[in-house]
């Protein structure tokens, strides 16, 4: 978890400044789709944006460490 917080610093949703320390750690590739529980596949999402991703139809991919593309 500390590795993710140091890499991401804040929630990875665009324009969100919530510190990563208070965020959920979300699977970029969902666990149920074979995504591993590893720092390479986890990102910091605040609870609001985690819910938006899970229930609002948003998806994201990791472009490079610390950079994410949202759709």
Compute, in degrees rounded to 10, the torsion defined by CA atoms 48, 24, 13, 8.
Answer: 150
Task: Give the H/E segment covering residue 2.
Answer: helix 2-8
Per-residue pLDDT reduced to its tens digit, 9-64 = 999 999 999 999 999 999 999 999 999 999 999 999 999 999 999 999 999 999 99
Q: Which residues contact 6 (CB under 8 A, 6 or more apart)?
A: none
């Amino acid at each position: 978890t500390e590795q993710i917080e140091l890499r991401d610093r804040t929630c990875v949703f665009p324009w969100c400044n919530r510190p990563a320390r208070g965020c959920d750690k979300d699977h970029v590739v969902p666990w149920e789709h074979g995504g591993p529980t590893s720092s390479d596949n986890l990102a910091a999402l605040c609870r609001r944006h985690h819910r938006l991703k899970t229930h609002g139809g948003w998806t994201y991919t990791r472009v490079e460490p610390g950079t994410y593309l949202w759709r």
